[in-house]
Amino acid sequence: MMMEPNTFTFPGLINSHDHLEFNCYAPTGLPPYQDFRGWARDVQAAREVLSAVEAIPLKLRRRFGVLKNLLWGVTAVADHGGETASSRDPVTVLTPFKDMHSPEFGRKRSWLAGRTPVVMHLAEGATPDSRRRALNYLRWNLWRRKVAGVHGVALQGRDFDRLSALVWCPASNHFLFNRTADAAEAARRTTLLFGTDSTLSAPGTLWDHLRAVRGSVSDETLIAAMTSSAERFWNLPGRKDYVVARRRHADLNEAFFAVTPEDILLVVKDDEPVLADRPLGPDFHPLGSKYVRLPIPAMLEEVSRYIDPDALIGRFTGACNPVPSGSANGHLSQRTR
CATH number, domain at 179?
3.20.20.140
Q: Quick one: pLDDT band at residue 322, thresholds 50, 70, 90?
A: low
Q: What value does the mean pLDDT of the chain take?
A: 90
Domain membership flag for residue 324: no
Q: Looking at per-residue confidence, does 337 or 257 come out higher?
A: 257
Q: pLDDT band for position 4 (50/70/90)?
A: low
Q: Is residue 64 part of a domain?
A: yes
Report if residue 160 sits inside a domain.
yes
320 or 252: which leads in pLDDT:
252
Q: At what angle do helices 296-303 and 309-317 cross, to 10 degrees?
A: 120
Q: Quick one: what percent of the chain has pLDDT higher than 90? A: 77
pLDDT in tens, 259-309: 999 999 999 999 999 999 999 999 999 999 999 999 999 999 999 999 999
Cα 108 to Cα 288: distance, rounded to the nearest angstrom? 48
Task: Say if 328 falls within a structural domain.
Answer: no
What are 135-177's pLDDT values in tens digits?
Answer: 999 998 888 889 999 999 999 999 999 999 999 999 999 999 9
150, 167 Cβ separation under 8 angstroms: yes
Q: Residues 76, 77, 81, 85: is their CA dihedral positive or negative?
A: negative
Signed CA dihedral, 319, 325, 330, 332: sign only: positive
pLDDT above 70 coverage of the chain, percent: 91
Q: What is the mean pLDDT of residues 248-266?
A: 98
Q: Which of 12-16, 106-110, 209-213 has the lowest mean pLDDT?
A: 106-110
- How many structural domains are present in the chain? 1
Domain-located, residue 197: yes
Give the range of the structural domain holding residue 132, as residue numbers without chain letter: 7-317
- The pLDDT tens digits of the residues spanning 53-102 come to 999 999 999 999 999 999 999 999 999 987 766 667 899 999 867 777 88
Residue at 327 is within a domain:
no
In a domain, 163, yes or no: yes
274: in domain: yes
Is residue 328 within 8 A of residue 170, CB to CB? The reply is: no
Given CA atoms 157, 118, 230, 22 in this order, what sign does their dihedral have? negative
Res 234: pLDDT: 94
Q: Residue 325 above 70 pLDDT?
A: no
